[in-house]
Structure 1
């Protein structure tokens, strides 16, 4: 295979892993409510930050990532490595003061956005291709150097006059990527690949400087993508039995390698500062990048759409990616929101069941069952709309009112806020363990209609409520 053909194949294979790799690169990049002024957006860059050695000497963070994994290369195999990270680009806002003069200000308000001081993340890539045979012995060392840069962007008002400008500066970043391989004894030809990424910046902090001063000299969200054109990598979480001891002997510091790309292939590895399973994938229902760590897409999209116009102006001025999230949340059609409302992937049709139609929103080859995995209508013995349950000595069904008296089990802090409130019973629900629950909406809750429309109720057991007549007595 020619060098050009190998590069084309590598790019095609890395594309299979890049969606997940992008999620790693931008995990927690800007958090809801997507404004620079939000407290949780003032302490950023939590994953894969490789700081300058002088800052690492303080003991809080590290200047390196060390990856070890096993591979079975065939003769003539080549290894492609892509180091990816973000550089912090510090943005300063200045207002035009006339006569070609500018003054630095905390923010600059425009009709469609509010511009503020902010650290933008600029993606950097380092690509290396090397024959596997050259990795044994001394291996390969690749220096990484990015010079300091400054940019200026003019900001104009609605009438076209100059309102101010944005100054953007990136500090110099230097690093080193080392690749070595060692053949291991055993029944099969296996090499242990070592990839070391180090920040080699000579920057030193002053005694009073905080972490923000080190970030422009750091590699942020650093991770590796590895592609082997001939042969395969071994899973580090589920290796073959014969390779278990060799996998256990591998050292992975501040990162973890997993098989990437589609299941069934083992030519790609993602070494990530966030622990993942083999063959990680973005949920097909996800409408786009939301950047907010650990949040659920549906909740986050609804919260974002509910921001005030002023809050959206601030978010749009914070960062181009934050602006894209606002625009995405404002434009989501109802059918996309419906797709976000839960998904079952682990339960398939019963043996011998008829073949179901393809779901256009599911991964390729996944069939949509004709009925949900659990459908109340399939059991004629239950009906949430008409079933009754005794509360004290009185039957209660959908449409009745009860007084909430939770707290017996003390499992939810929300109990404090609804104790003593009256609520409308929307349904009497039986769970798969034989328990009975009352699905209710609280009287006076301004969101009751939305809860009812979406089927999102509060649930209480019969001994956590009282009948109003019993309360009066």
Structure 2
């Protein structure tokens, strides 16, 4: 099996993230402002807020390697609708679909083979344009693509110290010849949803998220712009979307739903509720949307049931099977070993549980702009919970009117034990 095939499903999820959004119709306003992830615009595009290049810096343990960089992206293609006389029209109705002009996309990839000892180097590439036609009932669809060009620049630097670590820099630039202030026009010569897969034969990549202690200083020197590298098996996946090392697609997922990492079950159920007129428009919007609709509409009930939830880890695999319960699997009432209102967790030598007042120190495990409004606030612990992965979370209600509202609705703020400071003996 090709080494890149091992991460194909995750890479494809990146490629088509946000490709077409629920309710999957071209007429919907949010589907007229598409492609927000990993877009490299041509350098002549007038809006400086969207860059034409990205940069990955990562660490290689080993000073000699054969590298293969796979550049993956979508190339936009404009689809126009023709009637039986070959004249462009605003829409065309067939027996089961409603077609309108639309921007589709074609998967593209470019492989670049390199020797670590020959760096730095640059590799230019070109993706051809073209025009295709497809006959449909009562007319035709004409698809046109514009030529794209890009430049991959790769360099390596041996870092000081006894470990033989090399910092690899991979910079990708869109060099397409396009000068416009219209985003919809520039997108037709953009590298859309771009990401990189990097293979290194003869060396191994070091995680930037969970590096060994000796590599922490090296990690701090890496500068990533627009994409970020994570481990994916023996490969490196440089993604425009935040991921952890070794990402996977849930086994229960039946296929792409395209809509910004939404829950499969919710989107499937909502898609099933579309009217027949709306489904006609979905079929005519995009071939991928049409295939998704067919898959959802024909999904057996037992497959749909699998989307509802899965317990992946058990606390005690040797424990006897509990008696059946009417409570759902995620309800604490279904597990006598947990009692969120009475359970405690040790924080700074104090058993913290329901009723203990704490000062909030958010941001230890996350980077949320809202944390700045909570830092230093005082609240009272309501419950201590564990998720299905065994991670502990502390539910807190703020002091004052905000906390009263939180208590009345049963909606609290959740923190890791490291993000709270017990106020022992505070009044």
**Cα separation, 1, equivalents of 2:244 and 2:336:** 37
**Aligned residues: CA RMSD:** 2.6
**Cα separation, 2, equivalents of 1:147 and 1:331:** 37
* 3-state secondary structure, aligned to 2:289: helix
2:123 is aligned to 142
Match of 1:282 among 249, 261, 266: 249
Q: Does structure 2 conserve the Cα–Cα contact (< 8 Å) formed by 1:73 and 1:228?
A: no
1:89 is aligned to 77
Structure 1 position 326 matched with structure 2 position 293: yes
Match of 2:93 among 109, 115, 134: 109
**Cα separation, 2, equivalents of 1:21 and 1:351:** 33
* 3-state secondary structure, aligned to 2:176: coil
* 3-state secondary structure, aligned to 1:329: helix
Match of 2:152 among 177, 186, 192: 177
**Cα separation, 1, equivalents of 2:24 and 2:196:** 28
1:250 is aligned to 222
Distance 1:143 1:315, change over 3 A: same
**Cα separation, 1, equivalents of 2:20 and 2:331:** 38
Match of 1:23 among 13, 24, 32: 13
Structure 1 position 224 matched with structure 2 position 196: yes
1:269 is aligned to 236
**Cα separation, 1, equivalents of 2:336 and 2:210:** 40
* 3-state secondary structure, aligned to 2:179: coil
Deviation at 1:131, TM superposition (A): 2.1
Query: Which one has a bigger Cα radius of gyration?
Result: 1
1:302 is aligned to 269
1:5 is aligned to none
Q: Runs of at least 4 residues of structure 1 off by over 3 A?
A: 371-380, 461-464
CA deviation string 1:88-144 (max 9, x = no partner): 0000111123xxxx3211110001111111111101110112222222xxx221111
**Cα separation, 2, equivalents of 1:373 and 1:25:** 32
**Cα separation, 2, equivalents of 1:294 and 1:282:** 11
CA deviation string 1:229-248 (max 9, x = no partner): 22210001111111111111
Distance 1:278 1:82, change over 3 A: same
TM-score (norm 1): 0.68
2:53 is aligned to 64
Distance 1:241 1:120, change over 3 A: same
2:346 is aligned to none
Distance 1:185 1:335, change over 3 A: same
1:48 is aligned to 38
TM-score (norm 2): 0.75
**Cα separation, 2, equivalents of 1:180 and 1:110:** 54
Q: Does structure 1 conserve the Cα–Cα contact (< 8 Å) formed by 2:68 and 2:198?
A: yes
Q: Which runs of 5+ in 2 are unaligned?
A: 323-327, 340-381, 385-405, 410-427
Q: Does structure 1 conserve the Cα–Cα contact (< 8 Å) formed by 2:63 and 2:164?
A: no
CA deviation string 1:233-292 (max 9, x = no partner): 00011111111111111110011000013xxxxx21100111111111111111111001
1:349 is aligned to 315
* 3-state secondary structure, aligned to 2:44: helix
Q: Which runs of 5+ in 1 are unaligned?
A: 1-7, 157-162, 262-266, 357-370, 383-431, 435-460, 465-473
CA deviation string 1:13-34 (max 9, x = no partner): 2112111111110000001111
Match of 1:241 among 201, 209, 213: 213
